[in-house]
Amino acid sequence: MNRAEPPTAPAVAPAVASAVAEPPATGAWRDGDPAGRRRFLALPGPLALEAGGVLPNARLAYETWGTPAPDGSNAVLVLHALTGDSHLAGPAGPGHPTAGWWDALVGPGRALDTDRWFVVAPNVLGGCQGSTGPASAAPDGRPWGGRFPFLTQRDQVAAETALADALGIGRWALVVGGSMGGMRALEWAVTHPRRVGALLVLATAAAASAEQIAHASAQLHAVRADPGWHGGDYHHLPPGAGPHRGLGLARRLAQLTYRSEPELAARFGRAPQPGEHPWRGGRFAVESYLDHHAAKLARRFDAGSYVVLNEAMNAHDLGRGRGGTAAALRRVTAPALVAAVDSDRLYPPAQQAELAALLPHADAPRTLASRYGHDGFLLETAQVAPLFTELLPPPR
Protein backbone atom coordinates (compact mmCIF):
# COMPACT_ATOMS: atom_id res chain seq x y z
CA MET A 1 0.00 0.00 0.00
CA ASN A 2 0.87 3.53 -0.35
CA ARG A 3 1.45 6.42 1.96
CA ALA A 4 -2.17 7.40 1.76
CA GLU A 5 -3.46 10.88 1.12
CA PRO A 6 -5.23 12.13 4.26
CA PRO A 7 -8.97 12.67 4.11
CA THR A 8 -8.32 16.41 4.09
CA ALA A 9 -6.47 16.23 0.76
CA PRO A 10 -7.95 18.36 -2.01
CA ALA A 11 -10.64 16.65 -4.06
CA VAL A 12 -8.70 17.16 -7.29
CA ALA A 13 -4.98 16.53 -7.38
CA PRO A 14 -2.86 19.11 -9.17
CA ALA A 15 -1.71 18.38 -12.67
CA VAL A 16 1.82 17.13 -13.12
CA ALA A 17 3.69 20.15 -14.37
CA SER A 18 5.70 19.53 -17.53
CA ALA A 19 8.26 22.10 -16.44
CA VAL A 20 9.42 20.19 -13.33
CA ALA A 21 12.81 18.51 -13.35
CA GLU A 22 13.06 15.02 -14.77
CA PRO A 23 12.60 12.30 -12.13
CA PRO A 24 15.77 10.70 -10.80
CA ALA A 25 16.78 7.23 -11.92
CA THR A 26 15.91 6.14 -8.39
CA GLY A 27 14.11 7.80 -5.51
CA ALA A 28 16.02 5.66 -3.02
CA TRP A 29 17.78 7.10 -0.01
CA ARG A 30 21.52 6.83 -0.71
CA ASP A 31 24.60 6.99 1.50
CA GLY A 32 25.53 10.64 1.86
CA ASP A 33 21.90 11.82 1.93
CA PRO A 34 20.66 13.36 5.21
CA ALA A 35 19.98 10.58 7.70
CA GLY A 36 17.13 12.38 9.45
CA ARG A 37 15.90 10.28 12.38
CA ARG A 38 17.25 7.05 10.92
CA ARG A 39 19.59 4.76 12.76
CA PHE A 40 21.36 1.85 11.11
CA LEU A 41 22.16 -1.72 12.09
CA ALA A 42 24.66 -3.81 10.15
CA LEU A 43 23.49 -7.42 10.37
CA PRO A 44 26.03 -9.53 12.27
CA GLY A 45 26.79 -11.84 9.35
CA PRO A 46 25.56 -13.00 5.95
CA LEU A 47 21.81 -13.54 5.96
CA ALA A 48 20.84 -17.03 4.79
CA LEU A 49 17.86 -16.77 2.43
CA GLU A 50 14.85 -19.05 2.26
CA ALA A 51 15.17 -19.49 -1.52
CA GLY A 52 18.87 -20.31 -1.23
CA GLY A 53 22.09 -18.35 -1.06
CA VAL A 54 22.98 -15.52 1.28
CA LEU A 55 22.77 -11.75 1.37
CA PRO A 56 26.11 -10.39 2.63
CA ASN A 57 26.78 -7.08 4.34
CA ALA A 58 23.11 -6.23 4.84
CA ARG A 59 21.82 -3.49 7.10
CA LEU A 60 18.50 -2.22 8.37
CA ALA A 61 17.51 1.39 8.80
CA TYR A 62 15.12 2.01 11.66
CA GLU A 63 13.64 4.74 13.83
CA THR A 64 12.59 4.70 17.47
CA TRP A 65 10.37 6.76 19.74
CA GLY A 66 10.23 6.66 23.54
CA THR A 67 12.63 5.04 25.99
CA PRO A 68 13.23 1.31 26.36
CA ALA A 69 12.65 -0.30 29.74
CA PRO A 70 15.76 -1.88 31.25
CA ASP A 71 14.42 -5.33 30.35
CA GLY A 72 13.02 -4.24 26.97
CA SER A 73 9.49 -5.22 28.02
CA ASN A 74 7.83 -2.03 26.75
CA ALA A 75 8.90 -2.42 23.11
CA VAL A 76 6.39 -2.26 20.25
CA LEU A 77 7.33 -3.25 16.69
CA VAL A 78 5.48 -1.44 13.87
CA LEU A 79 5.90 -2.82 10.35
CA HIS A 80 5.18 -0.70 7.28
CA ALA A 81 3.36 -1.46 4.03
CA LEU A 82 4.73 -1.66 0.49
CA THR A 83 5.86 1.90 -0.19
CA GLY A 84 6.16 2.95 3.45
CA ASP A 85 9.39 3.24 5.41
CA SER A 86 10.73 3.67 8.92
CA HIS A 87 9.33 7.22 9.23
CA LEU A 88 6.30 6.18 11.23
CA ALA A 89 5.88 9.54 12.96
CA GLY A 90 7.22 13.06 12.71
CA PRO A 91 7.30 15.80 10.10
CA ALA A 92 8.82 15.75 6.66
CA GLY A 93 12.30 17.22 6.55
CA PRO A 94 15.88 16.47 5.54
CA GLY A 95 16.09 12.76 4.85
CA HIS A 96 12.32 12.29 5.10
CA PRO A 97 10.42 13.38 1.98
CA THR A 98 7.03 12.78 3.62
CA ALA A 99 5.57 13.10 7.10
CA GLY A 100 5.12 10.04 9.30
CA TRP A 101 2.62 7.60 7.83
CA TRP A 102 0.87 6.89 11.18
CA ASP A 103 1.80 10.14 12.90
CA ALA A 104 -1.58 10.54 14.60
CA LEU A 105 -1.07 7.30 16.55
CA VAL A 106 2.44 7.82 17.95
CA GLY A 107 3.51 10.26 20.65
CA PRO A 108 2.80 11.29 24.25
CA GLY A 109 -0.81 10.58 25.13
CA ARG A 110 -1.58 8.91 21.81
CA ALA A 111 -2.51 5.28 21.16
CA LEU A 112 1.18 4.36 21.10
CA ASP A 113 2.05 6.58 24.05
CA THR A 114 5.78 7.19 23.84
CA ASP A 115 5.84 8.11 27.53
CA ARG A 116 5.12 4.41 28.15
CA TRP A 117 6.14 2.49 25.06
CA PHE A 118 9.38 2.15 23.15
CA VAL A 119 8.25 2.11 19.53
CA VAL A 120 10.50 0.67 16.81
CA ALA A 121 9.85 0.94 13.06
CA PRO A 122 12.38 -0.61 10.64
CA ASN A 123 12.59 -0.05 6.91
CA VAL A 124 11.99 -3.48 5.41
CA LEU A 125 14.90 -5.45 3.98
CA GLY A 126 14.78 -4.99 0.21
CA GLY A 127 13.35 -1.49 0.64
CA CYS A 128 14.90 1.76 -0.46
CA GLN A 129 14.96 4.10 2.51
CA GLY A 130 18.19 3.07 4.21
CA SER A 131 17.88 -0.71 4.44
CA THR A 132 19.76 -2.90 1.98
CA GLY A 133 17.93 -3.18 -1.32
CA PRO A 134 18.60 -3.08 -5.07
CA ALA A 135 19.81 0.55 -4.92
CA SER A 136 22.38 -0.28 -2.20
CA ALA A 137 26.02 -1.04 -2.83
CA ALA A 138 26.91 -4.71 -3.25
CA PRO A 139 30.26 -6.01 -1.96
CA ASP A 140 31.92 -4.92 -5.23
CA GLY A 141 30.85 -1.31 -4.61
CA ARG A 142 28.32 -1.16 -7.45
CA PRO A 143 24.56 -1.06 -6.83
CA TRP A 144 23.00 -4.48 -6.47
CA GLY A 145 20.50 -3.65 -9.22
CA GLY A 146 19.28 -6.72 -11.07
CA ARG A 147 21.67 -8.95 -9.08
CA PHE A 148 19.71 -8.43 -5.86
CA PRO A 149 18.49 -11.82 -4.58
CA PHE A 150 14.90 -12.97 -4.24
CA LEU A 151 13.56 -12.29 -0.74
CA THR A 152 10.61 -13.70 1.18
CA GLN A 153 8.76 -12.35 4.19
CA ARG A 154 10.65 -14.89 6.30
CA ASP A 155 13.98 -13.42 5.20
CA GLN A 156 12.75 -9.96 6.12
CA VAL A 157 11.65 -11.16 9.56
CA ALA A 158 15.03 -12.84 10.06
CA ALA A 159 16.67 -9.44 9.53
CA GLU A 160 14.23 -7.80 11.95
CA THR A 161 15.01 -10.51 14.50
CA ALA A 162 18.65 -9.44 14.35
CA LEU A 163 17.51 -5.87 15.01
CA ALA A 164 15.51 -6.99 18.06
CA ASP A 165 18.53 -8.87 19.38
CA ALA A 166 20.78 -5.84 18.88
CA LEU A 167 18.29 -3.63 20.75
CA GLY A 168 18.09 -6.12 23.63
CA ILE A 169 14.42 -6.92 23.03
CA GLY A 170 13.67 -10.54 23.85
CA ARG A 171 9.92 -10.16 23.52
CA TRP A 172 7.82 -7.46 21.88
CA ALA A 173 4.86 -6.25 23.92
CA LEU A 174 3.07 -5.87 20.58
CA VAL A 175 3.83 -6.50 16.92
CA VAL A 176 1.59 -4.58 14.52
CA GLY A 177 1.38 -4.17 10.76
CA GLY A 178 -1.04 -3.50 7.94
CA SER A 179 -1.06 -4.94 4.41
CA MET A 180 2.54 -6.02 3.65
CA GLY A 181 3.44 -5.08 7.23
CA GLY A 182 0.68 -7.39 8.44
CA MET A 183 2.26 -10.25 6.48
CA ARG A 184 5.51 -9.73 8.37
CA ALA A 185 3.69 -9.35 11.70
CA LEU A 186 2.06 -12.73 11.11
CA GLU A 187 5.43 -14.25 10.18
CA TRP A 188 6.84 -12.90 13.44
CA ALA A 189 4.07 -14.53 15.45
CA VAL A 190 4.40 -17.88 13.66
CA THR A 191 8.22 -18.01 13.55
CA HIS A 192 8.88 -16.56 17.02
CA PRO A 193 5.73 -17.12 19.09
CA ARG A 194 7.55 -16.59 22.40
CA ARG A 195 8.84 -13.22 21.25
CA VAL A 196 5.42 -11.73 20.42
CA GLY A 197 3.35 -10.62 23.40
CA ALA A 198 0.37 -9.45 21.35
CA LEU A 199 -0.45 -9.24 17.65
CA LEU A 200 -2.41 -6.67 15.64
CA VAL A 201 -2.80 -7.10 11.88
CA LEU A 202 -4.87 -4.95 9.57
CA ALA A 203 -6.02 -5.43 5.96
CA THR A 204 -3.84 -8.45 5.33
CA ALA A 205 -4.05 -12.20 4.76
CA ALA A 206 -2.43 -15.51 5.70
CA ALA A 207 -1.37 -16.01 2.07
CA ALA A 208 -1.48 -13.91 -1.08
CA SER A 209 -4.53 -14.78 -3.17
CA ALA A 210 -4.61 -15.40 -6.92
CA GLU A 211 -6.18 -11.99 -7.49
CA GLN A 212 -3.58 -10.21 -5.35
CA ILE A 213 -0.79 -12.00 -7.21
CA ALA A 214 -2.40 -11.03 -10.52
CA HIS A 215 -2.62 -7.34 -9.54
CA ALA A 216 1.05 -7.34 -8.52
CA SER A 217 2.11 -9.26 -11.63
CA ALA A 218 0.58 -6.62 -13.91
CA GLN A 219 2.51 -3.94 -12.03
CA LEU A 220 5.76 -5.89 -12.28
CA HIS A 221 5.31 -6.25 -16.03
CA ALA A 222 4.79 -2.49 -16.28
CA VAL A 223 8.09 -1.79 -14.51
CA ARG A 224 10.09 -4.37 -16.44
CA ALA A 225 8.68 -3.26 -19.80
CA ASP A 226 10.07 0.26 -19.35
CA PRO A 227 13.07 0.76 -21.68
CA GLY A 228 14.82 2.44 -18.73
CA TRP A 229 14.68 -0.76 -16.64
CA HIS A 230 17.83 -2.31 -18.17
CA GLY A 231 17.32 -5.57 -16.33
CA GLY A 232 17.30 -3.67 -13.02
CA ASP A 233 20.69 -2.03 -13.65
CA TYR A 234 19.69 1.61 -14.07
CA HIS A 235 20.87 3.28 -10.86
CA HIS A 236 23.80 4.99 -12.58
CA LEU A 237 21.62 6.65 -15.22
CA PRO A 238 20.94 10.40 -15.32
CA PRO A 239 17.56 11.91 -14.35
CA GLY A 240 14.83 11.01 -16.81
CA ALA A 241 16.58 7.88 -18.08
CA GLY A 242 15.45 5.40 -15.41
CA PRO A 243 12.28 3.31 -15.32
CA HIS A 244 10.07 6.05 -13.89
CA ARG A 245 7.41 5.61 -16.58
CA GLY A 246 6.99 1.92 -15.79
CA LEU A 247 7.02 2.63 -12.07
CA GLY A 248 4.43 5.35 -12.62
CA LEU A 249 2.17 2.99 -14.55
CA ALA A 250 2.53 0.40 -11.79
CA ARG A 251 1.53 3.03 -9.26
CA ARG A 252 -1.55 4.00 -11.27
CA LEU A 253 -2.63 0.35 -11.38
CA ALA A 254 -1.99 -0.07 -7.67
CA GLN A 255 -3.80 3.12 -6.71
CA LEU A 256 -7.01 1.76 -8.20
CA THR A 257 -6.81 -1.21 -5.81
CA TYR A 258 -5.98 0.96 -2.80
CA ARG A 259 -9.11 3.12 -3.06
CA SER A 260 -12.79 2.32 -3.49
CA GLU A 261 -15.08 3.03 -6.42
CA PRO A 262 -17.53 5.06 -4.27
CA GLU A 263 -14.68 7.31 -3.09
CA LEU A 264 -13.41 7.92 -6.62
CA ALA A 265 -16.96 8.62 -7.79
CA ALA A 266 -17.59 11.07 -4.94
CA ARG A 267 -14.24 12.87 -5.31
CA PHE A 268 -14.00 13.04 -9.07
CA GLY A 269 -17.01 11.71 -10.95
CA ARG A 270 -16.60 12.79 -14.56
CA ALA A 271 -15.18 16.19 -13.68
CA PRO A 272 -12.45 17.49 -16.01
CA GLN A 273 -9.12 18.57 -14.64
CA PRO A 274 -9.48 22.35 -14.18
CA GLY A 275 -8.45 24.15 -17.35
CA GLU A 276 -8.49 20.97 -19.44
CA HIS A 277 -11.10 19.53 -21.80
CA PRO A 278 -11.20 15.71 -21.97
CA TRP A 279 -13.40 15.85 -25.07
CA ARG A 280 -10.50 17.69 -26.77
CA GLY A 281 -7.69 15.46 -25.57
CA GLY A 282 -7.34 16.84 -22.03
CA ARG A 283 -7.61 14.87 -18.81
CA PHE A 284 -10.38 14.01 -16.44
CA ALA A 285 -9.69 14.93 -12.83
CA VAL A 286 -9.30 11.29 -11.85
CA GLU A 287 -6.56 10.93 -14.49
CA SER A 288 -4.72 13.88 -12.97
CA TYR A 289 -5.02 12.22 -9.56
CA LEU A 290 -3.34 9.08 -10.89
CA ASP A 291 -0.66 11.14 -12.66
CA HIS A 292 0.06 12.94 -9.40
CA HIS A 293 0.61 9.69 -7.49
CA ALA A 294 2.76 8.26 -10.27
CA ALA A 295 5.06 11.29 -10.34
CA LYS A 296 5.24 11.47 -6.55
CA LEU A 297 6.31 7.84 -6.13
CA ALA A 298 9.04 8.09 -8.78
CA ARG A 299 10.73 10.78 -6.68
CA ARG A 300 10.75 8.90 -3.39
CA PHE A 301 10.93 5.20 -4.28
CA ASP A 302 13.06 2.76 -6.21
CA ALA A 303 11.70 0.63 -9.04
CA GLY A 304 13.95 -2.28 -8.06
CA SER A 305 12.60 -2.25 -4.52
CA TYR A 306 9.08 -2.11 -5.92
CA VAL A 307 9.79 -5.32 -7.81
CA VAL A 308 11.57 -7.09 -4.93
CA LEU A 309 8.88 -6.25 -2.38
CA ASN A 310 5.98 -7.18 -4.66
CA GLU A 311 7.62 -10.52 -5.39
CA ALA A 312 8.01 -11.11 -1.64
CA MET A 313 4.33 -10.29 -1.13
CA ASN A 314 3.33 -12.71 -3.89
CA ALA A 315 5.40 -15.42 -2.16
CA HIS A 316 3.67 -14.79 1.18
CA ASP A 317 2.22 -18.05 2.49
CA LEU A 318 2.32 -18.78 6.20
CA GLY A 319 1.61 -22.45 5.57
CA ARG A 320 4.54 -23.08 3.20
CA GLY A 321 6.64 -25.90 4.68
CA ARG A 322 4.57 -25.82 7.88
CA GLY A 323 1.78 -28.25 7.09
CA GLY A 324 -0.61 -25.63 5.74
CA THR A 325 -2.09 -22.37 6.96
CA ALA A 326 -4.12 -23.76 9.84
CA ALA A 327 -1.16 -25.67 11.25
CA ALA A 328 1.09 -22.63 10.94
CA LEU A 329 -1.34 -20.34 12.74
CA ARG A 330 -1.76 -22.83 15.58
CA ARG A 331 1.81 -21.92 16.54
CA VAL A 332 0.70 -18.39 17.50
CA THR A 333 0.41 -18.04 21.27
CA ALA A 334 -0.23 -14.29 21.52
CA PRO A 335 -3.63 -12.66 21.94
CA ALA A 336 -4.46 -11.26 18.52
CA LEU A 337 -6.74 -8.79 16.80
CA VAL A 338 -7.47 -8.83 13.09
CA ALA A 339 -9.00 -5.73 11.50
CA ALA A 340 -10.61 -5.40 8.07
CA VAL A 341 -11.67 -2.33 6.07
CA ASP A 342 -15.25 -2.71 4.93
CA SER A 343 -14.59 -1.11 1.51
CA ASP A 344 -11.27 -2.89 0.85
CA ARG A 345 -11.28 -4.49 -2.60
CA LEU A 346 -7.62 -5.54 -2.52
CA TYR A 347 -7.68 -7.46 0.80
CA PRO A 348 -11.43 -8.04 1.19
CA PRO A 349 -12.89 -8.56 4.67
CA ALA A 350 -13.53 -12.26 3.99
CA GLN A 351 -9.77 -12.83 4.13
CA GLN A 352 -9.54 -11.26 7.57
CA ALA A 353 -12.51 -13.33 8.77
CA GLU A 354 -10.75 -16.49 7.63
CA LEU A 355 -7.52 -15.42 9.30
CA ALA A 356 -9.21 -14.55 12.61
CA ALA A 357 -11.02 -17.89 12.64
CA LEU A 358 -7.70 -19.76 12.42
CA LEU A 359 -5.79 -17.75 15.04
CA PRO A 360 -6.03 -19.58 18.39
CA HIS A 361 -6.41 -16.46 20.54
CA ALA A 362 -8.29 -14.03 18.31
CA ASP A 363 -11.83 -12.70 18.64
CA ALA A 364 -14.03 -12.01 15.64
CA PRO A 365 -12.35 -9.53 13.30
CA ARG A 366 -12.92 -5.84 13.85
CA THR A 367 -14.19 -3.80 10.93
CA LEU A 368 -13.05 -0.28 10.07
CA ALA A 369 -15.84 1.64 8.38
CA SER A 370 -14.26 3.67 5.60
CA ARG A 371 -15.02 4.98 2.15
CA TYR A 372 -11.29 4.95 1.34
CA GLY A 373 -10.86 1.28 0.52
CA HIS A 374 -7.66 -0.56 1.43
CA ASP A 375 -5.97 2.69 2.47
CA GLY A 376 -8.51 2.95 5.28
CA PHE A 377 -6.10 1.18 7.63
CA LEU A 378 -3.75 4.16 7.22
CA LEU A 379 -6.38 6.89 7.23
CA GLU A 380 -8.96 5.84 9.81
CA THR A 381 -6.65 6.43 12.76
CA ALA A 382 -9.53 7.25 15.13
CA GLN A 383 -10.83 3.72 14.58
CA VAL A 384 -7.39 2.08 14.70
CA ALA A 385 -6.38 3.72 18.01
CA PRO A 386 -8.79 1.68 20.22
CA LEU A 387 -7.33 -1.55 18.85
CA PHE A 388 -4.02 -0.71 20.52
CA THR A 389 -5.86 -0.05 23.76
CA GLU A 390 -7.45 -3.50 23.60
CA LEU A 391 -4.12 -5.26 23.28
CA LEU A 392 -1.72 -3.18 25.35
CA PRO A 393 -2.00 -3.34 29.14
CA PRO A 394 -3.29 -0.22 30.90
CA PRO A 395 -0.83 2.01 32.76
CA ARG A 396 0.04 0.88 36.26
Which residue of the set 131, 179, 260, 288 is catalytic?
Answer: 179
Which residue of the set 155, 226, 302, 344 is catalytic?
Answer: 344
Identify the H or E element spanning 252. Answer: helix 244-258
Give burial (CB, 10 Å; 0-12/13-18/19+) of 103: middle
Which of 291, 294, 263 lies closest to 14, judged by CA? 291
CB 362 within 8 A of CB 390: no
| First-residue to last-residue Cα distance in the chain | 36
Give the DSSP letter of residue 226: S
Look up 374 and say whether it is catalytic.
yes
Report helix, strand and coil shares of the chain as percent, to nearest 5. 35, 15, 50
Which residue of the set 87, 192, 215, 374 is catalytic?
Answer: 374
Count of CB atoms situated within 10 Å of the CB of 44: 9
d(CA 334, CA 357): 14
CB 38 within 8 A of CB 90: no
d(CA 294, CA 393): 41
Identify the H or E element spanning 40. Answer: strand 39-42
**C-alpha torsion sign, points 90, 93, 94, 98:** positive
Give burial (CB, 10 Å; 0-12/13-18/19+) of 311: middle
SS3 247: helix
Look up 344 and say whether it is catalytic.
yes
Q: Which residues are catalytic?
A: 179, 344, 374
